[in-house]
């Protein structure tokens, strides 16, 4: 379970190998847990990585895990990573908004590098896309000094809301440490077509947000945001075309971003995280046994 059988074709030869799927526990799945606790939960639940949020988004009731200023929590996080062997996949969220200065995120980038993170998630919340592209390029240049990539995520309630918009910005920016981060919830809510993934460069894909949601798309922005932040579903429980999406992208780590406040409250964060991971492994085992890589 949790593995794909992969058929490799090289110069008219074929060989069958098995690659291990890798999973990260996204912070939004258990946002009430500080990074050290999240790390221990991820380890006990069977994850390979954690994805942490040291950049506060300023949302109502959102906890602030600014590790750049909270050195005690940073030390505790390092201890948790060392004791568990868990790695940090990514940090979030570098939002591009009107008037922002990429340098404001440098303390978080430095922390991410200290923790061994690979990627920084980024989304765009300004309608000035020329400005946004300029700032995206600057973010990439800054991140490069910390050996980090900037992963552009399109969000249906943001300014860069579609796959087409994200691909356009990445193409214009032309940065070698930039990537495209698809969230299966956002892909479905933005009414994307799986066929549109086919022409995207494979090297743009470094990680994927895996979750499920109801097939019906909410009519209101408010309801969409509520589901996005509080009521996502186990993998295979909803109506997102997950199998079809995953067949079109390279094999990359899956970050399980499946916030569901009621379930987490009833089960506790550790058991809920364990069930999220189990749903992902079972779904992949049942639906993605054979994937062709050329």
Domain membership of residue 182 (yes or no) is yes
Tally the domains of the chain: 1
Handedness of CA 230, 243, 158, 191 (dihedral sign): negative
**Strand-pair partners of 52:** 91
Rounded to 10 degrees, what is the CA torsion of 23, 26, 30, 34?
Answer: 110
Handedness of CA 230, 235, 240, 244 (dihedral sign): positive
User: How open is the CA angle 75-77-83, to the nearest 5 degrees?
Assistant: 105
Q: Per-residue confidence at 184, pLDDT binned at 50, 70, 90?
A: very high
For the segment 45-58, what is each residue's pLDDT rounded down to a tens digit? 999 999 999 999 88
The CATH number of the domain where 272 resides is what?
3.20.20.150
Domain membership of residue 12 (yes or no) is no
As to burial, measured by CB atoms within 10 angstroms (0-12 exposed, 13-18 middle, 19+ buried), residue 158 is middle
Cα–Cα distance list, 157 to 161, 193, 233 (Å): 6, 18, 19
Domain membership of residue 265 (yes or no) is yes
Give the three-state DSSP class for 238. Answer: coil
Q: What percent of the chain stands above pLDDT 90?
A: 89
Q: Which residue range forms the structural domain that includes residue 51?
A: 18-287
pLDDT of 284 above 50: yes
Domain membership of residue 173 (yes or no) is yes
As a whole number, the mean pLDDT across the chain is 93
Domain membership of residue 2 (yes or no) is no
Domain membership of residue 293 (yes or no) is no
Max CA pair span of the chain: 57
Distance CA(242)–CA(182), nearest Å, equals 11
pLDDT of 125 above 60: yes
Distance CA(123)–CA(136), nearest Å, equals 9
pLDDT of 11 above 70: no
Domain membership of residue 294 (yes or no) is no
Domain membership of residue 8 (yes or no) is no
For the segment 77-107, what is each residue's pLDDT rounded down to a tens digit? 999 999 999 999 999 999 999 999 999 999 9
The answer to whether 289 and 26 have CB atoms below 8 angstroms apart is no
Mean pLDDT of 56-72: 93
Cα–Cα distance list, 111 to 77, 106, 148, 149, 151 (Å): 11, 9, 11, 14, 17
Q: What is the pLDDT of residue 58?
A: 84
Q: What residue has token string 């495209």?
A: 180
């Amino acid at each position: 379970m949790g593995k794909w059988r992969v058929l490799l074709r090289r110069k008219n030869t074929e060989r069958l190998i098995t690659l291990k799927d890798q999973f990260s526990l996204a912070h939004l799945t258990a946002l009430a847990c500080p990074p050290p606790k999240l790390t221990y939960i991820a380890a006990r639940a069977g994850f390979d990585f954690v994805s942490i949020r040291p950049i506060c988004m300023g949302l109502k009731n959102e906890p602030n895990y600014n590790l750049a200023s909270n050195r005690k929590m940073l030390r505790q996080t390092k201890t948790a990573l060392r004791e568990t062997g868990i790695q940090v996949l990514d940090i979030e969220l570098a939002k591009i908004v009107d008037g922002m200065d990429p340098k404001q995120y440098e303390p978080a980038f430095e922390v991410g590098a200290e923790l061994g993170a690979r990627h920084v998630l980024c989304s765009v919340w300004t309608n000035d896309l020329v400005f946004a592209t300029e700032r995206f390029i600057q973010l990439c240049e800054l991140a490069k000094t910390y050996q980090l990539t900037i992963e552009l995520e399109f969000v249906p309630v943001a300014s860069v809301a579609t796959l087409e918009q994200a691909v356009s910005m990445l193409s214009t920016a032309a940065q070698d440490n930039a990537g495209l981060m698809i969230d299966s919830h956002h892909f479905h809510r933005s009414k994307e077509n799986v066929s549109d993934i086919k022409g995207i460069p494979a090297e743009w894909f470094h990680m994927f947000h895996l979750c499920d949601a109801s097939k019906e798309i909410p009519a209101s922005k408010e309801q969409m945001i509520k589901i996005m932040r509080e009521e996502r579903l186990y993998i295979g429980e909803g109506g997102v075309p997950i199998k079809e999406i995953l067949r079109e992208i390279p094999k990359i780590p899956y970050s399980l971003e499946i916030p569901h406040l009621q379930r987490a409250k009833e089960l506790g964060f550790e058991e809920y995280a364990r069930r999220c991971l189990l749903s992902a492994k079972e779904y992949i085992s049942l639906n993605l046994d054979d994937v062709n890589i050329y």
